[in-house]
Structure 1
Amino acid sequence: MSEFEIEILHLTSIQLKIFKELSYGKSITRGTLAKKLNIPYTTIYDNLIKLQLKKFVRQYSRKTNKIRGRSSVFWYMPRYVLKVFRKFRESEPTEGMKKDLDELFEKGIEIFAKVFHIHVSGNLSKLDINRLLEFAEKYKGDELDKKIKSYFY
């Protein structure tokens, strides 16, 4: 992935490593993630929070069997992000995908466009990238979540 792509996605190299690890579809604790990626625990936590704010990851707690133990917090990638990511990870860019991307721009589905860009790098024009950035600014928070869910479910 080039510096240009990282800048467009507004993700750091650490966030991209976390994103890739979670893209396998399994939930994982930040301690396990820190060991796998050989990145300090606190750095992992800070970046997971940033990814959560961008709607790329979510978390849930689960009680452990330990006496007096705290709940374990697991991080995972939401189903709608995984679905899109997997679809394009295994595909070569085609005209149909370009058409899909245009349709998604019309609907304002930012995450789809961003994940699409990860794997179709170099095939998007400056106009496409500018449109992507405009939609990223236009739709935020719950409104974006509703748009994405309505498209995929």
Structure 2
Amino acid sequence: MTITINTDAGFYHRDKVGSYAYWVVSDGLLLKGSGVFSDKCKNPLDAELKAMCNAAHILSVCQGFDFSKVRLIVFNRDNINARSGKNGTQPQKKLSSILRKIKDQCHPLVKVDFRHVKAHNGTPDKRSYVNDWCDKQCKAQLRKWNNERIINQ
């Protein structure tokens, strides 16, 4: 069985505010959502990594899903540089740690594969559809944050 984790992030350079969206799917599992990070992001890559951490965390606390049959975890993201790393940045280390927790629940031979999804290419496939959905969610969350900021000034 495969778990596919799709993520995207948005980022306002001036305010260092980031948004996230995720779409996690497997047999009998669908988790999706979006929001704005409560803490600042350094740059778009930092936001992307935090989005991946967020989605992995949501998956790791998912109740009632049988992880023991999972053999592959696929991360689809449009930032080719976003991946986990035990010796990387703080978000990369956090992602690596969360993935270890997930892998402990899975089949012993589970593998994690990071795949690049080319954004905004108009390809009518499932990965592009989900990436576009995530992108729209991120933009909507940033617009909402900006509108609330303006109202509260």
CA radius of gyration, larger in: 1
Greater length-normalized contact order (CA 8 Å, ≥ 6 residues apart):
2
TM-score (norm 1): 0.29
- Which protein is richer in helix relative to its size? 1
